[in-house]
Amino acid sequence: MIQKINKAGVCAPLGFLASAVNADVKGKGKDKNDLCLLYSEVPCKTAAVFTANTFKAAPLRHAIKAMEKSKDFQAILVNSGNANACTGPQGIVNCENLAEAVAESLGIDAAKVLTGSTGTIGVQLPVERMAQHIDALVDELDDGNSDIFAEAIMTTDTFPKQAGVLVETANGAYVVAGAAKGAGMIAPNMATMLCYITTDALVNEKNLQTALSDAVKGSFNSITVDNDMSTNDTVILMANGMSGIIPDMDEFKEAVTQVCLELAKMIVKDGEGATKFITVNVKGADNDEDAKKCAFLIANSPLVKTMFHGEDPNWGRLMACVGASGVKADESTTDLYFEDLLYAKGGLIIDEKMEPKAAAIMKQPEISITLDLNCGSGTAQVFTCDLSREYIAINADYRS
């Protein structure tokens, strides 16, 4: 049985500790923790999914190379304020130097340490300044520090994002929990996001990677805020086995998926300047791929996103997106719903007198729309948000 845990974070499973400090990564003297450490008391089997962007940041390239040699890791050092992306060979050296500093302080092999970064692209990490805080991070490791870890990885986020579940089995219980950051540059094939998930279940590396890859498809790869893909997108799942429970894999996959989906929805709800959380459903497509293509075109359309911000049921914009998506569809057989209100059938509005009902739905903070193409069995669900003036303000002032 899978039960949601309130306020669960990376330290909820047995054996995981975290810490965070203010290392002034940006060099602007801001009073914010921006360097944090996640550590397991024993080595973990580790799985990961990274951005599809070909310009991958140095921490991702460092991790990919390390994971080609081993899937056993014990610590992750993460900073906010600097992406360590577009930093050339020096960016990799910076990752290696920081991993060595962490390993030395912890008394473990540097090959068991990964790094993660988020923030401004194209600036070298202040490694010397960061390294001065490594011993303090190690000294302050504690299993009660989930909250400060989640806060330290934030950039333009307005709230920390944490989720977790307890899975009860006939032989005992285990936990899957995690933290994520992300609010802008959110697009399919992950987002400008970091996500760290921990579990004390006993899972081999192959099953762990399968569970994570499957979970990402319907969660982090089904969200969009602005259709911009980051260089740093990372989801890492670490399993230390300290519960001693070998899980049923179907149940374990469901647990990981629940955690990923909850964190993904939090990212969309915290979309930069967002005031609406929108679920786009497409069904009756020729196949699932067509359904997802159509759903993402709707979810990424500036006209659609501003329509939701303006609380205007301008349904023609939604129909136009279906046609523009290039998928198999016929206007004369396409139906449109605002929540469960069938508003247009066969490409035609049912009754103009229904507009006040649709307008009332558009005023809700969370809105679901459904396009039924009625030409097959393909389905998809995508999560997005509205586009507001605040989004422009946030990104115009990002580096200041």
* Lookup: tokens for 258: 């629940």
Q: What DSSP element (H or E) covers 346? A: none
Residue whose C-alpha is closest to residue 247's, from 175, 198, 177 = 175
Place of tokens 């999914």: 49
Phi-psi category of 92—alpha, beta or left, where left has phi over 0 and alpha has psi -120 to 50?
alpha
Spot the catalytic one: 192, 198, 231, 257.
Answer: 192
Residues 74, 192 contacting (CB under 8 angstroms): no
Q: How deeply is 230 buried, as exposed, middle or buried, from its count of CB atoms within 10 A (0-12, 13-18, 19+)? A: buried
Residue whose C-alpha is closest to residue 302's, from 331, 330, 324, 270 = 324
E runs forming strands in the chain: 2-4, 16-21, 35-50, 72-82, 113-120, 161-169, 172-181, 194-199, 234-239, 277-285, 335-338, 341-345, 348-349, 366-372, 378-385
Q: Residues 223, 114, 33, 93: what is their CA dihedral angle, to the nearest 10 degrees? A: -110
For CA atoms 114, 108, 205, 12, the dihedral sign is negative
Q: What DSSP element (H or E) covers 201? A: none
Residues pairing with 242 in the sheet = none
Question: CA of 273: how far to CAs of 151, 155, 287, 393, in Å?
Answer: 19, 14, 34, 9
Q: What DSSP element (H or E) covers 93? A: helix 88-106
Say whether 224 is catalytic. Answer: no
Catalytic residue numbers?
A: 192
